[in-house]
Amino acid sequence: MNKHFILALDTGSAPMSPADLETALRAIGTERYHDLHPFHDLLHGGHLDKGQVQAWALNRYCYQAAIPRKDASLIGRCEDRELRREWLHRVTDHDGNCEDPGGIERWLILTDGLGLDRDYVVSQQGALSTTRFAVEAYVRFVREKSLLEAVASSLTELFAPSIHRRRIAGMLKNYSFIDETVVAYFRRRLDQAPRDAQFALDYVKRHAVTVEQQRAVLAALTFKTEVLWAQLDALHYAYVTPGNIPPGAFRPAPSAPFDACQAPGTAGPKERMIMIRKQAPWLGIVAGLLVAAPAQATDFQVKMLSKGEKGMMVFQPDALKIAPGDTVTFVSVDPGHNAELIRNMAPEGAEPFAGKPSETVSHTFSVPGVYGVKCRPHYAMGMVMAIAVGEPINLDAAKAMKHPGKAQKVMDTALAELH
Ligand SMILES: [Cu+2]
């Protein structure tokens, strides 16, 4: 903090003017905001590998998930109707409502895109203990300190837009596994953070009028910068230097290529086999023999793409004729897509399947008939395909299926190609 302001307060003389208080608050950001942390230089500069970015995203999830709890506890003890009203949208900004899926969901799209298992991220089991301690300290601070201090602790948002802008640019440029869908969280915060920060700043300038109150709000903002900084210290220590990952915390797959990098327990043996096949074709032959595939069965590949020959969010190809016993591998080329069977759009007795987002999955189709496949996040955007396995016995039923948004047209066209 700027020494001049500390001295002004420590001498217990007259309180600062609102303008000076703002200068003092901003000085805390200039000196202590976590955009200055070396871990962020590595992150934004493209110097981290995928496992390290995964570690960052799943730890940061704990923080995102706690924000609505701390904001709700602030509202819960607030007598000021105006403040409650203003603060309420912070909860829905994160939790979402009927119109907007919310910031936490957008964060999970980021972790999906990084190939992390959603349940694993949400469980917070792989997070560093320091992350959880820091986050809970923040929630408790907001719950127990004065309302003025609680509001002041949110003022790190004054400094957030510049870090988000740098993060979007840096991550898109430097990491092949990051795309626009994945950085949606930060784009949204570019609008939300300045509005929130301005309100909180005005509130603090109006209500922190005594020397004690001003000292308290400066300390509250300092505390908050420490909450953020400590989380990056922990990440740096565990995942960069010296790289001491504590027991129980997330362990990235050892220097894995892009689609081999998964949260623990998400890559099944089948998928590993596919990865082996991609890396060394001759190994694929061995692997094929090991899994004792039916004679002459063919493995078809369908790419899951954010941009393909027919437009955005597509399976490529989106219509496929195969024989019973053939396998289709849905290859996660761009992150954030999954392949799963559309319920009731399959012949009777067919086995359902559902891949996770950003997961390459294979499915062997043994029952003849027509199958519909969708990407769950982009179903309404038309990310569907049709597969005819041998005789298309249920074609009429498949054609009668209703699909949301663009999916109807894509599916109609795909089905028309099958006969
Ligand atoms: Cu998709």
pLDDT in tens, 75-134: 999 999 999 999 999 999 999 988 888 999 999 999 999 999 999 999 999 999 999 999
Separation of CA 390 and ligand 1 centre (Å)? 27
Separation of CA 311 and ligand 1 centre (Å)? 12
Separation of CA 371 and ligand 1 centre (Å)? 18
326 and 187, same structural domain? no
Cβ 45 vs Cβ 170: under 8 Å: yes
Separation of CA 339 and ligand 1 centre (Å)? 8
Choose one of 248, 283, 308: the last residue of a domain. Answer: 248
Residue 62 resides in a domain: yes
Helix (H, G, I), strand (E, B) or coil at 53: helix
Separation of CA 377 and ligand 1 centre (Å)? 5
Separation of CA 338 and ligand 1 centre (Å)? 6
Structure tokens at 244: 């001491």
Write down the pTM of the prediction: 0.61
CA angle (57 as vertex; 374, 191 as ends), nearest 5: 85
Q: 414: exposed, middle or buried (C-beta count within 10 Å: 0-12, 13-18, 19+)?
A: buried
Residues, CB within 5 angstroms of ligand 1 (ion): 337, 375, 378, 383
Which CATH number fits the domain that encloses residue 92? 1.20.910.10
- The pLDDT tens digits of the residues spanning 140-150 come to 999 999 999 99
CA dist list (Å): 274 to 66, 170, 287, 361: 38, 31, 9, 8
157 and 71, same structural domain? yes
* Structural domain span for residue 386: 297-417
Separation of CA 265 and ligand 1 centre (Å)? 22
Separation of CA 111 and ligand 1 centre (Å)? 15
Structure tokens at 323: 């024989």
Alpha-carbon distance of 308 to 10, in angstroms, equals 63
- The pLDDT tens digits of the residues spanning 290-315 come to 444 445 788 899 999 988 888 888 99
302 and 240, same structural domain? no
Separation of CA 376 and ligand 1 centre (Å)? 7
* H/E element, 206: helix 184-207
Closest listed residue to residue 106, CA positions, set 162, 52, 49, 61: 61
Ramachandran angles phi, psi of 242, nearest 5°: -80, 0
Residue 34 resides in a domain: yes
Ramachandran angles phi, psi of 371, nearest 5°: -120, 140
Separation of CA 347 and ligand 1 centre (Å)? 24
